[in-house]
Chain A
Amino acid sequence: MLYREAGDFSTTYREDNQTFPIRFDRYRYYAVMLIAFLVIPFFVNDYWVNAIFLPFLIYSIAALGLNILTGYCGQVSLGTGGFMAVGAYAVYKLMTAFPDISVLIHIVLAGGVTALVGILFGLPSLRIKGFYLAVATLAAQFFLVWVFNRIPWFYNYSASGQINAPERTFLGFTVTGAETKAWVAYLVCLVFVTISAIVARNMTRGALGRSWMAIRDMDIAAEIIGVNPLKAKLSAFAISSFFVGISGALYFSVYLGAVEVGEVFGINKSFLVLFMIIIGGLGSVFGSFIGAAFLVLLPVLLKNVLVGYFGWQTDVAAHLEFMIIGGLIVWFLIVEPHGLAQLWRLGKEKLRTWPFPY
């Protein structure tokens, strides 16, 4: 009887337009926020933060970004890894060039830099479509990784070709570098994730999001009814790259601390994020989160069960992981093309009419 809109009257337009129109949903959302901000930071240790929470939060931002481009605007991109690398190197250059400015501002600026690069590589999307475009975004992936590998200016001429995050503080707490406390890193990422999710959610249900979805559903028809494809496609590329850039910046500065671009931001990263949004749900903010959670937890779980419990060799477990992920992708595309988010939506719909579904 909890999950009802009955008796919940909206008296203003504001209330009518809120993200969670059902009261129970709203309270659940507040409860999740409260636990995430006020409970988890006190109970986490290094292992949990480094193995689960940080990758989950950071990939969620990347998945959100890609979901805007692929799920909402329908432009498949295989260049996510490259754009994450742009974010990472931008924040590195900014951190070393302007050490006095807060690192959090640098992270946002890195997102801005990535957005510009995203617009540049989004330009061909006005001419080419479908998998021609998907393949074209691979050009971004390979070219960007090569640039960061080969041009010494980007890694400040360091001998190893790696970039290392210098130590930076915010309000007296160390945010980047080896001394970072687990809960500080967690909170920084959580703040970015929360803001990104709210921004993404409100963007996708506004005029901009509607123009993206019109382009996705049928671009010529959208053009005829007055959606400007140039504006819609390039804004999708820009905003998507902005989020992906922020996630790349966090991945480098807060999570890893040291990055070798070919290994960390290779083509596999692009596929991983793409898989997240397929499994989670194309065109859904919640789907980005659940997809990221799924693909972060699955390897950890498999490793713990197969290697830790059964005592198998790590390579056998790794190969099995490949099989399972590949199989799941195909299975989801066949059975539930809208991903886990759709299952969640169906479950909520069932719950709303329970116990009298007719």
Chain B
Amino acid sequence: MPEQLFFTIEVILNGLMAGVLYSLVALGFVLIYKASGIFNYAQGVMALFAAMTLVGIMEGRIPFAHLINAILGTKIHHFGWHVNAVLALILTMGVMLLLAWLVQKVIFKHLVNQEGIILFMATIGLAYFLEGVGDLMWGGDIKMLDVGIPQGLNLWIDETTYNMFDYGFFIDNLDIYATVIAAILVFVLVGFSQYTKQGRAMRAVADDHQAALSVGVSLNFIWIMVWTLAGFVALVAGIVWGTKSGVQFSLSLIALKALPVLMLGGFTSIPGAIVGGLIIGVGEKLFEFAVGPLIGGATENWFAYVLALLFLVFRPQGLFGEKIIERV
């Protein structure tokens, strides 16, 4: 019996860590939604794009090489240098900043005051566009990302727990690092929004656009800043997920994993994103472990959605969301 019990605990622990990764993506959503009311479906593709850019810069690939080759008939692929990971990271952050600026300038400046659902559909269009650009820029092949995060079984935990309980816990090093990174990220974000001038302005905008505008907060600046922040969060998520399973198209599907997390936690709440992520992570791992084998397995694809759906029927604004008040 203890064997079973330990195994369950292991499943829960792994679920918690998977949940942290979901929260990481969900955080980016919450940031943009709070500040601008845009529900950004493109967050997952942004993570993919960021990770692709990072790999591309590190390996010294030439942007749009395939397109240039196709038009000019040349055969260029690499600059022939390798860029240091830290430098590449900084360059990628620059690219995400540029992207945020472009998104605000070209798209959402023109969609101010539109209904939320129109903005949502615009971000779906943005997601398709970014996906095309990313593939065209860096090639559609599966890339390996290695920025020095260790991977594989954590031997220390395995041995210690084996000595203590006669049962070695299998926990991936990468998951531990991801948890630490996510925790740091949350602290930095909370610190930023609570204790800096820009953070205060961001909260003011989230509270009431017009009031913020009337006391001299530049909406345009805040929105670009928020998209940049979301881009950085996407970069972090992209690095963690990219290290785990390679940088490829499926990376963009993590957005689909983050949506039920948001529904559960509420679109407007950072703690909600984290708690929602943990609930979904543990829930889907436990369900797969306990019920999955009986009904054919691979329940992870939909369990989160159905859980969130059932949950929403009883609490339409999510766990931590603001109460929905409707007026005519």
A48 CB-CB contact with B under 8 Å:
no
B189 CB-CB contact with A under 8 Å:
no
A21 to chain B, nearest CB (A): 31
**Which residue of A134, A322, A333 contacts B131 across the interface (Cβ within 8 Å)?**
A322
A/B pair count, beta carbons within 8 Å: 140
For B298, list chain A residues within 8 Å (CB): 146, 149-150
Contact (A322, B132) CB under 8 Å given A132-B316, A139-B308, A143-B306: yes
Pair B66/A128 contact, Cβ less than 8 Å: no
Hey, what's the 0/1 contact readout for A65-101 against B, CB within 8 Å counting as 1?
0000000000010000000000000000000000000
For B116, list chain A residues within 8 Å (CB): 130-131
Which chain B residues (130-145) contact chain A, with CB distance < 8 Å?
Answer: 130-133, 135-136, 140
Pair B70/A330 contact, Cβ less than 8 Å: no
Pair B328/A330 contact, Cβ less than 8 Å: no
For A143, list chain B residues within 8 Å (CB): 302, 305-306
Q: Please report the C-alpha to C-alpha distance between residue A319 and residue B139 in the assembled complex, in whole angstroms.
A: 9
For A151, list chain B residues within 8 Å (CB): 296
Considering the complex, give the chain A residue whose CB is closest to the CB of B119. A333
Chain A binder among B19-27, B120-128, B196-204, B238-246: B120-128
Q: Classify chain A's interface size.
A: 35 or more
Pair B328/A322 contact, Cβ less than 8 Å: no
B67 CB-CB contact with A under 8 Å:
yes
For B129, list chain A residues within 8 Å (CB): 322-323, 326-327, 330
Pair A76/B306 contact, Cβ less than 8 Å: no
Pair A330/B122 contact, Cβ less than 8 Å: yes
Pair A326/B302 contact, Cβ less than 8 Å: no
B85 CB-CB contact with A under 8 Å:
no
Pair B299/A337 contact, Cβ less than 8 Å: no
B164 CB-CB contact with A under 8 Å:
no
Pair A221/B328 contact, Cβ less than 8 Å: yes
B295 CB-CB contact with A under 8 Å:
yes
B320 CB-CB contact with A under 8 Å:
no
For B328, list chain A residues within 8 Å (CB): 218, 220-221, 224
Pair B136/A320 contact, Cβ less than 8 Å: yes
Q: Please report the C-alpha to C-alpha distance between residue A265 and residue B66 in the assembled complex, in whole angstroms.
A: 30
Pair B312/A136 contact, Cβ less than 8 Å: yes
Considering the complex, give the chain B residue whose CB is closest to the CB of A329. B125
A308 CB-CB contact with B under 8 Å:
no
Which chain B residues (85-133) contact chain A, with CB distance < 8 Å?
Answer: 107, 110-111, 114, 116-118, 120-122, 124-133
Contacts from B to A (Cβ < 8 Å): 39, 66-67, 70, 107, 110-111, 114, 116-118, 120-122, 124-133, 135-136, 140, 256, 259-260, 262-263, 295-299, 301-302, 305-306, 308-309, 312-313, 316, 326-328
